[in-house]
Structure 1
Amino acid sequence: MAPVRRGPQLPLAMAMLLLLFGAVWLWHLDSVALSPPADNIEQLTWMRSLEWGYYKHPPLPTWIMWAFVQLAGWSAWSSYLLGSLFTLVSLAIFSALLHEIHGRHYAWVGLLAALGITFYNGRMNYYNHNIVLMLWVALSAWLWWRILTRPQRRWWLALGVVAGLGMLSKYQYAVAAVCGLWLFVRHGLWRSPAQRQGLLMALAIALVIFLPHALWLLEQERGPIAYAMQSSLGAQFGPGQRLTATARWLLDWLFNRCLPAVLLLLLVWWAQRRARRQLPSPSGPQEPHGAAVLGQSLLWCWGLLPPAFMAAMGVLWGVDLQLQWGTAFALWTVPACMAVLGLREATLRAGWTLPVAGVAFVALQGLLVWQSYDTSAFGRHPPRSAHWREFRSQALAEAVAQPARQELGGPVRIISGPAAASGAVALWLPEQPRVLIYGDPALSPWITPRELERGGILELWPPGEGPADAHRVLDGWGWRVRPPAAASGGGA
């Protein structure tokens, strides 16, 4: 067996590319959006109190946002920076793993292709549970590589921690756990007492980390499980709908989200074919060494099993597969495609193969930036249907803030209304008000019952909704205030 490389190796040039890539896309996405992503607003709203869970999702991403805000301040840009940090670190781990398994040129091509996946460029400014999950999935792949090639107890300990944090981020981490168990069985690790003990130890650590949230879940009537049942797991599609919806989901994954990556890899495959003709023919059959076999097995597993498992959920159980569910796993589609196309380190380092990949990367990224600008509110072909990033949150905030302050007799402290719109307006106000989501205290534990009794709340209503006495402003949005109890003659 060939010696395994001693540690993750991310060339400096790759790190610099990731930083430049992140900076360019963050600047661009901020310049073409009138409102931050709704998922970012959600996290900036929820972080006003630290809970063991929130009405839609587990708590860890919100806890991380709270910690980051203590350093960077409460703003849309804090969420942009945090989201891009998780995305770039995940891509760095991915690249380092490809470098260890197959070599530097293979890792370069894999990274350039992965950066074309639209989950990671057009959503570079996103911060949500899928983005946080992506890091735990990448770390899990790296740890399984260590377990397969250099089995030690510390890797199992680390895997247990990562698995627990993954489940505290999004229950979809279970898909990564299935990948790991497949590797455990596929490569006969169950035959080793030390490996069996390691797996049990990892499971125990993960359960201990997840246990407080699990106990919290048991007490909830409107928690994440209920939300999942209402939004996707409880869809109960019929047989025809299951097949159609699942096929559409898979096609979106490969030929929409991953299309730029696939195009780049096809160009590299064409260039590699030309390079092969210039290389001397091998003297005999070239069998991959043991570490390469293990590495390729891991990459196949991480690339194919997640979409296959989720597709099975759609076909067998009628789950409404959400398009964003590919976020944490789509980058691992790249090495699977590279294996299908027969891309190898030896030929990737020959001829003009790598320069072709670089030129294709620059061209594709330029097209993606242009398409993003051209379909924004500032471009020539804005979307015909309403898109959140075209929501004029700053204009709405300016239209309601001063009149509301006059009626309240002071600053706006609480905004009640739709989650995304209210949170977006709050981001533009210097007093940084908290959001009472849909006016429902059960969804907003950061606001106490006493505060609700006291009043002093700005209420927002979408166009066509709300009471008759609501003031109508921008695009039909309505507002009114619930004055403080003292101002309205009530008790303190």
Structure 2
Amino acid sequence: MASLPQYQRDRTLGSQLSFPAAVAACLIAHLALWFSLPVLLGVVLTSDNGEELEWASQLAWGYHKHPPMPSWIIHAFTRVFPPTITLTFALGALQVGMMFAFAWLLGRQLLGTRRAAVSLLLIACITFYTVRLSYFNHNTALMVATAAAALCTWNAHRTRELRWWVALGLCWGLGMLSKYAMVVTIACNLIFLWTRHPVKPPHLLGRCALASIIAVALFAPHWLWVTHHDMDTVHYAMRFVEVEHTLTDRLLRIVGFTADQALRLAPIFIWLLMVRGLSYRNRPVMATNAGDEQPSGDAAAFLAIQAFGPLLIMIALGALVGLELGMPWGTAYLWALPLWYVGTAAGTRFASQSNRALLLGFVAIQGLSAAQFVLTRP
């Protein structure tokens, strides 16, 4: 950048500084759009939202099918707001917004400011966070806990500060109080922490134990409730395990699950093509900090594990024990894929496209998604 005339340097820097602000404005509009559409169109109450409203009327350490965290959240909000379907839609949008915030904090550390902002635009195109944004259930609560745990895991590894390990234990415990599938998130966190240390230092063992103790302490009252209520939540969870299915049946389910998750990412693929057509220049936007370099070493491993680890674990469970993979199970995890992609060489080239092309492409995808939502509404 030093070889450019001063006015060009100032113009480039100003563009870089304004881009995250423009992305923030787009995300606020995104949340408002996908919260408002179901309300304006009178979308029928989803069973999950309705269940949470019903359970929230009375505080308990557990409910018929699930752990208590989402119902607790609604209960807290109904102390201030009327217990309506609109409230559940708003809480669904709030949870997606919290995921955006954690993804931004994580992406800024791993990818730099510009690519973290581009990652958020990509995440906001995934259909779990558009047409299903108004859903409020255990998968959406798990999404927030998973994103927060990823941020804590990276910082616990990077800084070794005790506060991050305490925060990680809280994320694990609150995640387990949201949905038992949090064990997948915990497994991915531990896989990264342990594989990056061929020789386990004493501090790693002790601090992993600290995080685990905090998580168990938070989860223990719920487990006591489960044991005193005929293991209801466990029996419900076991309904998704079909050991007697043949290997062919399991493979077909895995193919269907994988195809469905890919379909959720389809708007991103369309946008990638649109941006190439809208971009007015082929040369990259100049980096303004060292964080714009391609991640390597621990950072690259972390992004790969967060992006693919949960899906691979679920697929393995589907093949080995016949786990019936549900389509919404990707809700908590697909947000990590754009972060990984933008950290690759191809993703870096995509993020280097002009601000105008990136933002116009995002707006176009949101418009197309909204039009499809309106036209296909029952």
Using structure 1 for the length normalisation, give the TM-score.
0.68
Other-structure match for 2:333: 329
Preserved contact between residue 242 and residue 321 of structure 2 (Cα < 8 Å): no
C-alpha change, 1:150 and 1:181, in structure 2 (3 Å) is: same
Other-structure match for 1:262: 269
| In structure 1, C-alpha distance between the alignment counterparts of 2:23 and 2:214, rounded to whole Å | 34
Preserved contact between residue 61 and residue 169 of structure 1 (Cα < 8 Å): yes
Pairing 1:242–2:250 present: yes
| In structure 2, C-alpha distance between the alignment counterparts of 1:219 and 1:190, rounded to whole Å | 42
C-alpha change, 1:360 and 1:328, in structure 2 (3 Å) is: same
C-alpha change, 1:189 and 1:152, in structure 2 (3 Å) is: farther
| Counterpart residue identity of residue 368, structure 1 | S
Preserved contact between residue 119 and residue 339 of structure 2 (Cα < 8 Å): yes
Deviations 1:223-263 (A, max 9, x none): 11111122x12464211111111011011101x11111233
Shift of 1:264: 2.2
| In structure 2, C-alpha distance between the alignment counterparts of 1:277 and 1:48, rounded to whole Å | 54
Other-structure match for 1:199: 208
Preserved contact between residue 184 and residue 190 of structure 1 (Cα < 8 Å): no
Pairing 1:308–2:312 present: yes
| Counterpart residue identity of residue 311, structure 2 | P
| In structure 2, C-alpha distance between the alignment counterparts of 1:50 and 1:189, rounded to whole Å | 45
Using structure 2 for the length normalisation, give the TM-score.
0.87
Other-structure match for 2:192: 183
Shift of 1:276: 4.5
Q: What SS does structure 2 have at the residue aligned with 1:54?
A: coil
Q: Flag the structure with larger Rg.
A: 1
C-alpha change, 1:358 and 1:309, in structure 2 (3 Å) is: same
Other-structure match for 1:27: 36
Task: Map residues 27-176 of structure 1 onto 2, 5 A cutoff.
Answer: 27-176=36-185
C-alpha change, 1:371 and 1:270, in structure 2 (3 Å) is: closer
| In structure 2, C-alpha distance between the alignment counterparts of 1:91 and 1:127, rounded to whole Å | 16
| In structure 2, C-alpha distance between the alignment counterparts of 1:363 and 1:289, rounded to whole Å | 29
C-alpha change, 1:113 and 1:291, in structure 2 (3 Å) is: closer
Pairing 1:355–2:356 present: yes
C-alpha change, 1:355 and 1:292, in structure 2 (3 Å) is: farther
- Which structure features the higher share of helix residues? 2
Other-structure match for 2:373: 372
| Counterpart residue identity of residue 362, structure 2 | F
| In structure 2, C-alpha distance between the alignment counterparts of 1:18 and 1:316, rounded to whole Å | 40
Q: What SS does structure 2 have at the residue aligned with 1:330?
A: coil
C-alpha change, 1:70 and 1:22, in structure 2 (3 Å) is: same
| In structure 1, C-alpha distance between the alignment counterparts of 2:284 and 2:44, rounded to whole Å | 52
Shift of 1:11: 4.5
| Greater mean deviation of Cα atoms: 16-25 or 145-154 | 16-25
| In structure 1, C-alpha distance between the alignment counterparts of 2:141 and 2:198, rounded to whole Å | 29
Q: What SS does structure 2 have at the residue aligned with 1:357?
A: helix
* Structure 1 residue ranges without an equivalent (≥5): 1-9, 280-285, 378-492
Other-structure match for 1:295: 299
Q: Which structure 1 residue ranges, 4+ long, deviate > 6 Å from structure 2?
A: 269-274, 288-291
Preserved contact between residue 271 and residue 356 of structure 1 (Cα < 8 Å): yes
Q: What SS does structure 2 have at the residue aligned with 1:275?
A: coil
| Counterpart residue identity of residue 178, structure 2 | S
Preserved contact between residue 285 and residue 354 of structure 2 (Cα < 8 Å): no
| Counterpart residue identity of residue 260, structure 2 | D
Q: What SS does structure 1 have at the residue aligned with 2:129?
A: coil
Q: What SS does structure 2 have at the residue aligned with 1:304?
A: helix
Deviations 1:191-224 (A, max 9, x none): 2211211100000110011001111112232611
C-alpha change, 1:358 and 1:204, in structure 2 (3 Å) is: same
Identity %: 30
Pairing 1:253–2:254 present: no
Give me the CA root mean square deviation: 2.6
Shift of 1:158: 0.8
Deviations 1:28-53 (A, max 9, x none): 12222342222111100011111111
Shift of 1:353: 3.5
| In structure 1, C-alpha distance between the alignment counterparts of 2:99 and 2:198, rounded to whole Å | 27
| In structure 2, C-alpha distance between the alignment counterparts of 1:219 and 1:278, rounded to whole Å | 60
Deviations 1:303-337 (A, max 9, x none): 01111110111111111100000000011121233
| In structure 1, C-alpha distance between the alignment counterparts of 2:375 and 2:134, rounded to whole Å | 18
Shift of 1:274: 6.5
Other-structure match for 2:6: none
| Greater mean deviation of Cα atoms: 289-298 or 117-126 | 289-298
* Structure 2 residue ranges without an equivalent (≥5): 1-18
